[in-house]
Amino acid sequence: MQKRKLGSGGLEVSAIGLGCMGMSFGYGPAADTREMTALIRTAVERGVTFFDTAEVYGPYANELLVGEALAPFRGQVAIATKFGFQLKPDGTPGFIGLDSRPDHIKEVADASLQRLKLETIDLFYQHRVDPEVPIEDVAGAVKDLIQAGKVKHFGLSEAGVQTIRRAHAVQPVTALQSEYSLWTRTPEEEVIPALEELGIGFVPYSPLGKGFLTGKIVESTSFDSTDFRNVLPRFTPEARKANQAMVDLLTSIGKQKNATPAQIALAWLLAQKPWIVPIPGTTKLHRMEENLGAAAVELTGDDLSQIDSAAGEISVQGARYPEHIEKMTGL
């Protein structure tokens, strides 16, 4: 597995990471802990050195899983986790609201270190921008954690350009994590140029469109009642039918390259910038190995032009999130 550098602070990770959220949260019932532990450890054997989690995934269950699974590999892998939500006091899924007060950030860091069995968090992201707390105060709190040896690198998620600049001026931002894929290209307009200017890495989440770009989800696919895709406008049956055109494009390119639609979608992301590290998630070993195989798919300039031209003709139907969730993004 090739390596890539995020930011200018020396964080080097595998070109493709592993998003662990879906193992515990979001996509239906939590998967079997022993099976997911084995999957994470197999990922390490396959060369993955970058794992993504957050306290809100569960809550807490995903950090506990990742901490236990990666305990034998301390110092060999980088673990990213996140702060920024006020969780429900009874520990049930979901959250009450945003909370990036400096004292809360430091409390979350201490608790995450315990769950992850770490002395230092490799990459600590603000999960969503909190409009009630100046970003300078957030960056300052993480700077304190870095100076205390509890955190190595500072990250932001779904932040807009001005927020990124203000934070970066207080504590250098190593990486931005935002949704980016062939069907969510908003970051290309302002964010990616700013990241390049500032020397900040980019970690696309949902690089496979929450599973849609794999080609395995069709108009008639039904999800478990606890799967959050049930409430996403882009996943209504009508939107799925309309958005099949994007999958058809990836499938046709894949046939030319002897690759799957998912591999083309990931290879396209990797070809955009050398400091982009997607974090596809899965609970299936064969799907993880398929995703990692994308690193070996080479797309030429002509291939990329063909994809961009064809994708430009496709109008993606449906918003990413319901309006109340979309308001939490800074884009």
| Arithmetic mean of pLDDT over the chain | 97
Active-site choice (57, 60, 125, 205): 57
Structural domains in the chain, sorted by start: 3-326 (3.20.20.100)
Whether 57 is catalytic: yes
210 and 235 Cβ atoms separated by less than 8 Å: yes
What is the Cα–Cα distance from 240 to 235, expressed in whole angstroms?
6
Query: Which residues in the chain show pLDDT less than 50?
Result: 331
pLDDT value for 324: 86
Q: Which helix (H) or strand (E) holds 325?
A: helix 323-326
pLDDT value for 49: 98
What is the Cα–Cα distance from 53 to 60, expressed in whole angstroms?
9
State the pTM of this model: 0.98
Query: Using one digit for the tens of pLDDT, what is the confidence trace for 29-44?
Result: 999 999 999 999 999 9
Closest of 162, 183, 155, 163 to residue 277, by C-alpha:
155
171 and 146 Cβ atoms separated by less than 8 Å: yes
pLDDT value for 331: 45
Q: Helices 135-147 and 161-170 sit at what angle, rounded to 10 degrees?
A: 40
DSSP 230: G
Residue position matching structure tokens 């799957």: 260
What is the Cα–Cα distance from 20 to 54, expressed in whole angstroms?
9
